Structure 1
Amino acid sequence: MACPATATDLVLDLPWGRVAARRWGQAGARPLLACHGWLDNAASFDRLAPLLAAHGGLDILAIDLPGHGHSSWLPGAYSQPGQAACVLAVLDALGWQQTTLIGHSMGAGIACLLAASVPERVTALVCLDALGQLSAPVDATVPRLRKHLLSCPPGLSSTPRPLDSPQAGIVLRQQRNQLDAADAACLVQRGVVQRDGQWYWRYDPRLTEPSAVYLHEAQVQAVLGAITCPTLLLEADPPSRFIDAQAQQQRRACIAQLQHRRLAGGHHLHLGNAEAAAAAIAGFLGDTA
């Protein structure tokens, strides 16, 4: 299950727990923090980050978001604003007053929240196959809240289901995310753990429970409209099944300094087409230096 990468692993101890991370590049150079997607982990950037680091002048940190990978599980409920607050705490722990943010899927939504709400901390933004958070119509509010409340009894947590083997995890990721075996292995290698002779996913099972509330599309677009830093959006070509083409076009129009490119590959294009993604991001970062 080897995934080619050269990185330094580190752990940040925060008041609520630990955040694990992988680091490439030059300490003290231009900081770049990468946030992965839902149920992924920092290894999501194991192909992209070394290519970016080869361009020089970057200090790249890819974190396991809380509840994912080797990071601690949160004591309370998960939400993208909550995850954004954790990312901000990571920046503070590193002493990074400003950073470039790269986010994939859910991580892009988190990065957009930060770029909009604390613009003094974000100098540039790169979004990979997502722009903003998931949204839902107003009339879905009560059914969604009901589903959340009935699935999450207080004081109880889901019991992780064992995997037959790490290879079984690779097959599952291939089926669910349309990844090839090598790209799926990148995520699974960091995403599973063996306990008592059985294999389990490392992520907190509560991450799979229904969210209580989604923003309305108008709120998502209001967040995007508040982003003032240079922004690069890389989208899969052909579009992945996670993208609503009409909504995405409206969202792109919200960001004043947006560059938009399509790259061959699926939703995890930064794994499957890392060379093209790295070239596009390096060019963008050169323009925003």
Structure 2
Amino acid sequence: MTLLEAIVIAVVEGLTEFLPVSSTGHMIIASSFLGIEEGAFTKLFEVAIQLGAIFAVVLVYWRKFFQFTKWEFYAKLAVGVIPALLFGFLFNDAIDAMLSSQLIVAASLLLGGIVLLFIDRLFPQPSQPPSDILATETTQREVIEADDRLTYPKAFIIGLWQVLAMIPGVSRSAASIIGGMQQRLTRNFAAEFSFFLAVPTMAAATLYSVFLKKWDVNGTEQKGYELIMATSENMKAFLVGNVVAFVVALIAIKFFISVLKRYGFRIFGIYRIVLGAILLVLIAMGKL
């Protein structure tokens, strides 16, 4: 992987990590179009640059993350991340196998886009006029607008929804936001809690990939940090990639919140459907 390729992948990661469009799917697609070899370092890099995106969330919401007196906030995040840790540990090999399937990515993007088209209708916001019986019943229920009203069981259920993102192309952000809205969080708070939940989830995945997981490098096993430090090119790619992902993610978070408030999820659903359909056509034609 060249430095330029690392920067491109990092830009893709920063732009898509917190949008409901699947960062993993987009990085797989970008790597394929760029012709980047699908080696151990490439796979590690695509996980490790999440570190930059994590710091972006912490910076944007630093007041929230450093309120050490409100221990329940951290406890709820810990409960929410349990499903991802458990499923990630149990099905790590199966998840890695799916990462190489462009067909799974394309199908997940398409199906996920269809779901996003109807999310605002299924879970309308309190300010929206009900359009049918389902909407009327939903708006009459209690909505949750802040973490002090979020219960531990609801945090755990949102964490279960997040597990769906282990399928490439599903989107961790989309899965956890949908889970939040299904648990009657407002659209904005569901997005924010998705950002909060991303920090321990992505941190755990990154730390595991860098310090614990053994990567197959030409028949020999290496820890992630050994692979990063193996060459100066790998070191540069890792460091520059995380800086780029951090800067781009800062912009993307602000963009997502503003678009979400104004347009809801429909625009992201349309994007996913178009991209997924294009990819399926390219795969059928043997171009991808």
| TM-score of the pair, normalised by structure 2 | 0.26
Question: Higher strand proportion, which one?
Answer: 1
| TM-score of the pair, normalised by structure 1 | 0.26
Q: Rg larger in 1 or in 2?
A: 2
Question: Higher helix proportion, which one?
Answer: 2
